[in-house]
Amino acid sequence: MKYKIFLLILIISIPLFSEDLLLDIIFTNDIHGGIDKYEATFINPNFPPMLGGGGSAATYIKSVRKLSDGVKRDNLLIDAGDIFQGHPIGTVTKGRAIVTYMNMIGYDLSVVGNHEYDIGEDSLKATYKLAKFPILSCNILKKGTDELVDYVKPYIIIEKMGIKIGIIGVTTTDTKKMSFPENIKNIDIISAKEALEKYIPIVRKQNVDLIFVAAHLGIPYDPEPQYSIRYGDRKKSNRKRYWGYDAQEIAHEVSGIDVIFAGHIHKGFAKPWEDPITHTLVFQDYAYGSGLGHVILKIDKETKSIAGYELPAIREGAMVTLFEDEFIPDKIIADTILVMQKKAEKGMDEIIGEAAIHISREGSGAQNLIGNLVCDAMLEETDADFSFINLGGVRDDLKRGPITYRDIFKVMPFDNQVVSFTCDGKFLKEIIEMRISGTHHGLRVAGVEVVYNRNRPDYDRITKLLIGGKPWKADKIYKVTTTDFLLQGNAGLSMLTKIPETQVTRYGTSLREVLVNYIRRHSPVTSAIDKRWKRDDTSEISPELLKELKKAEK
């Protein structure tokens, strides 16, 4: 019954004599299929509380909607993208189950996120056809044209309590760097800033009172120091841009936006980021359906402008964590989700082995226990000299004890395939150097011993390099194993697209299958932090490496 007390406090926290109109906006981002119940191990790994998923979300949303009279108080339900790829119920159903849930709960809109393209554009179109709510993005175009793709709208206009609100959707341009080229071959994604500067005047001309942006663009993890670097006392001149605009930059550099509901970065903020100059508010919640964002906007009914806001969550400001015992799941929604979940997860509780220790994602630099385990599995499965994956390729821990297919899916929710290629040592070194250049943090690796010095120039930072325990040779041909995702040039590794297909071996085996095979062979499995990857900013080039580099220059 805690949620009833919570909502009572929520109601009385707004003065009953207020002349302002009240607009409850509930927002989500980066759901990644997280509509099922699951344990919140990120809160307490030993005694995790249960999160109620979509059933608990429905309870909260319905309770808030009961406060609306459509005259002095109303509501919106907004999603900022990446709705399905992650939990099995989302991935296995290609998003159909998530859209079904969103239809039932009554979303007003969703935005295209970068992971929506993980299933390919044709499958995405089929999934979106099921949606009873508009899908927004103002910057995804048909390849080589100025025309938006036919499964999105650039904006919608909604009227609440006599207030006209224009809501524009926008997608990160980084989608092009983070997706399989085959899946995005028919689209262009133009700058978020450019697209918004085009559509804000168009929407404004339709006599709207407020403009919101639903953006699959994130707030930086540490917004205040990042703002200082970009625009304040610590401003850096001639800053090179590799990634697309984020929500903080849009709030500062694009005028005419009242509120941004952001996503893409999986960090929630109890209070909105408010740009010091434009005063645009930016809200963002945590990911995986662990909670809801909620803000109550106060709107002056005379000027029809935002007069302020209330954050209803007593403990967490704009964020409401969906604890099952606090928000008893709505039975109809919860039962519907459970039926879809059981169908999607058939066979996932089969035990495939055991973990002798807790194999964690925590670690320093590019090493952690789970990343090392995955790369060791890739190396052994393909009998390679060197294996690597990107830092974001592993998404969960393996807890000590029995390991099931469900656990493997949590570790690797993406359908990446294992591939190998042959290359000379010079090219192999370039791969590693690329991922430690600039501010890059490296790779998950196996089969190598790398020491690097970040004080050295880009592309000359490695000070020690062993392959299979032996000194690296520039002209030796090595067998390298990675994923098809990286082979197609993602994560900044565009150099991999230059590898001739004749040098590539495609096994037709997913990375999940490779890890399962390894666990079955070695159960109970363990992992360790070892000498494979080390940052040492005082290190000098080893004599063996220096000798080989000089030899390669001749």
pLDDT of residue 342: 95
The average pLDDT across 487-508 equals 89
pLDDT of residue 194: 97
Task: Identify which has the larger pLDDT, 251 or 43.
Answer: 251
- How confident is the prediction for the chain on average, in pLDDT? 92
Q: Of 160-174, 186-200, 479-493, give the lowest mean pLDDT range.
A: 479-493
**Those residues with Cβ within 8 angstroms of residue 39's Cβ, 6 or more apart along the chain or in another chain:** 48, 49, 50, 51
For residue 49, the one-letter residue type is: P
Helices (H), 116-236: 121-128, 175-178, 192-204, 223-231
Give residue 4's pLDDT band: very low, low, confident or very high (50, 70, 90): very low
The average pLDDT across 47-59 equals 96
Q: Yes or no: say if 298 and 308 are a contact pair by the CB < 8 Å rule.
A: yes
For residue 554, pLDDT over 80 is answered with no
Give residue 45's pLDDT band: very low, low, confident or very high (50, 70, 90): confident
Q: Yes or no: say if 391 and 443 are a contact pair by the CB < 8 Å rule.
A: yes
Q: Convert the pLDDT of each residue in 311-349 to its tens digit.
A: 986 667 999 999 999 999 999 999 999 999 999 999 899
Q: Yes or no: say if 75 and 64 are a contact pair by the CB < 8 Å rule.
A: yes
Backbone angles phi, psi at 274, to 5 degrees: -115, 120
Q: Yes or no: say if 260 and 247 are a contact pair by the CB < 8 Å rule.
A: yes
Q: Which domains can be identified in the chain, with CATH numbers?
A: 2-344 (3.60.21.10), 351-553 (3.90.780.10)
Q: What phi-psi label fits residue 393: left (phi over 0), alpha (psi between -120 and 50 degrees) or beta?
A: alpha
Q: How far apart are CA 269 and CA 276, in angstroms?
A: 17
pLDDT of residue 432: 93
For residue 527, the one-letter residue type is: S
Q: Convert the pLDDT of each residue in 89-111 to its tens digit.
A: 999 999 999 999 999 999 999 99
Q: Cβ–Cβ contacts within 10 Å for residue 300, how many?
A: 14
DSSP codes of every residue in 289-345:
TSEEEEEEEEE-TTT-SEEEEE--BTTTBTEEE-BTTTSPPPHHHHHHHHHHHHHHT
Give residue 242's pLDDT band: very low, low, confident or very high (50, 70, 90): low
Token pair belonging to 358:
């807790």
> Which sign does the torsion angle of CA 130, 28, 368, 48 carry?
negative
For residue 24, pLDDT over 50 is answered with yes
For residue 57, pLDDT over 60 is answered with yes
For residue 240, pLDDT over 70 is answered with no
- Chain-centroid distance of CA 167 in Å reads 22
What does the chain come to in residues? 554
Give residue 403's pLDDT band: very low, low, confident or very high (50, 70, 90): very high
Q: Structure pTM?
A: 0.81
Q: Convert the pLDDT of each residue in 377-393 to its tens digit.
A: 999 999 999 999 988 88
Report the greatest alpha carbon distance in the chain: 83
Q: How far apart are CA 183 and CA 104, in angstroms?
A: 29
The CA-CA-CA angle for residues 125, 130, 135, to 5°, reads 65
Q: How far apart are CA 127 and CA 122, in angstroms?
A: 9
DSSP three-state, residue 442: coil
Tell me the CA distances in angstroms from 389 to 266, 393, 440, 461, one per residue in order: 21, 6, 14, 20
Q: Could you tell me what percent of the chain has a pLDDT over 90?
A: 76
Backbone angles phi, psi at 446, to 5 degrees: -150, 155
Token pair belonging to 531:
């000498």
Q: How far apart are CA 11 and CA 246, in angstroms?
A: 34
Tell me the CA distances in angstroms from 190 to 148, 212, 373, 499, one per residue in order: 11, 20, 38, 28
Burial classification of residue 421, based on how many CB atoms lie within 10 Å of its CB (0-12 exposed, 13-18 middle, 19 or more buried): buried
Q: Yes or no: say if 378 and 511 are a contact pair by the CB < 8 Å rule.
A: yes
The residue with tokens 């610590």 is: 234
Q: How far apart are CA 102 and CA 12, in angstroms?
A: 29
For residue 77, pLDDT over 70 is answered with yes
Give residue 487's pLDDT band: very low, low, confident or very high (50, 70, 90): very high
Q: Yes or no: say if 472 and 447 are a contact pair by the CB < 8 Å rule.
A: no
Residue in 361, 126, 384, 396 with CA at minimum distance from that of residue 287 = 396
For residue 239, pLDDT over 80 is answered with no
